[in-house]
Structure 1
Amino acid sequence: MKKIISSIAVCSLAICALASCGSEKSAKSAKSADIAGKWSIDSLENESIEQGGIIFNDGKGSAYTDSSKMFHFNDEGLVIGSDDDTATRTISKDLFKEEGKTLTIDLSGMELLIMNKLDETEGYNGTYSLDGGILYEQLSAQISGSEENTAEAVDITLIFNGDKSEMIFNDLFDYETKDGHLTLSGNSDVMGLSTDGNSAEYKIEGDKLTIITKNGTETFTRVK
């Protein structure tokens, strides 16, 4: 379970560039480029995860992480990766519980995943909302800061496609762009971001997003 839960760290990496944004603004005003879209962080260094980053959409910011090596479906069931990448185990689909569009997957007698399917894809591939189970509870506790403080629902989407899977943490924070600066607010602190209106300078050149803070520069590549 440690490896699965550590996936939240990728989201921190994806938006850590904004964690120490300064409040100073550039003297030169510039028209804000459209930051909307899905962006993969270029500096991600994690052998267990191929990709992670940020999704900006209509004032809401989400974070995503590749979770393919943590879990994915095959013909036999749900494949779960080991902590050291040397072995995997498969939870047989014969042990799955299906009620309408709700899929519950047990691990050693405990509910690992409780998911609701959001599309009409055949089989177990497709898009799900993660609504309960051990994984949801521990991720929610990490995001909220404690196991006791999970009253506010955490919106997590899981996407499965063959030997690939992706986890999306929806609407983690609010954002605004103005004069070439990116300002975060709302629940941005759940990922270690400040909520006091601090901003960072940013620019977009082709498919590259550069975020510039007083502590350095992070680059992202647009995901098409």
Structure 2
Amino acid sequence: MATAVGEGCPLRACMVRDVTHAAASAPPGAALPAQQTVSAETMPQAIAGLATYATTKMDLRHPVWLFKYPEALAAALEQDGPPDVIGFSHYIWNSQLSLAFAELVKRRFPHTTVVFGGPHYPLHLPDQTDFWHQRLAGKVDFYVEGEGEPAFADLLLTFNDFDRKEVRGTISGAHNLHDDGILYTRPPRLRIHNLSSVPSPYLAGLMDEFFDGMHPRLTAARAEWAARTDTTTNAEAA
């Protein structure tokens, strides 16, 4: 590990999740995509987990910014300037919007490192290489395959000490395309078995702002009924 756990990490990390929350398109000449309609009422728990896990591996000198809506991200980029690292979740339903943001970020802030992660990524190396050349090249610096929490934290730690180009091919689960067109890959991380190693983003207060306009309903634990057959008596019990 390039930086010991607990040492200060000066990176300004900015992440955006599932921007399909807005059924948006970028009009010609627009600086950044703008929201049109809200199309989903879900919480950005996945990227919040990346943030809380990262805090267990390093002492971030700057907060991790989480975004649910495209216009909020656009406003932050306009007002606060470029982050050192920006991450996008990548699903089949938000692929084009995430790529549009990534392209615009790279065009305006070429020194910002763009990281993608999510299931909308080919499984086999030849297809992954084509995917990079056809869709990601020039827009995305790293794509995290598989478990995102440890790989993203390792990327942040490594970025803290090394030039981005020196990171290529060194982080398990992080893929990146070299200038010569060769795709550098490492095997994905194993699944996290102890989920308590990812601190709750709800208890950390990272999710509070995303309850906007919602009326959460709290219920006691419900009994989940199912039928089973007792093999000794053939009697069914609930």
**Both structures adopt the same fold (TM-score exceeding 0.5):** no
Select the structure with the greater relative contact order (CA < 8 A; seq sep ≥ 6): 1
TM-score (norm 1): 0.26
TM-score (norm 2): 0.25
Task: Identify the structure with the greater strand proportion.
Answer: 1
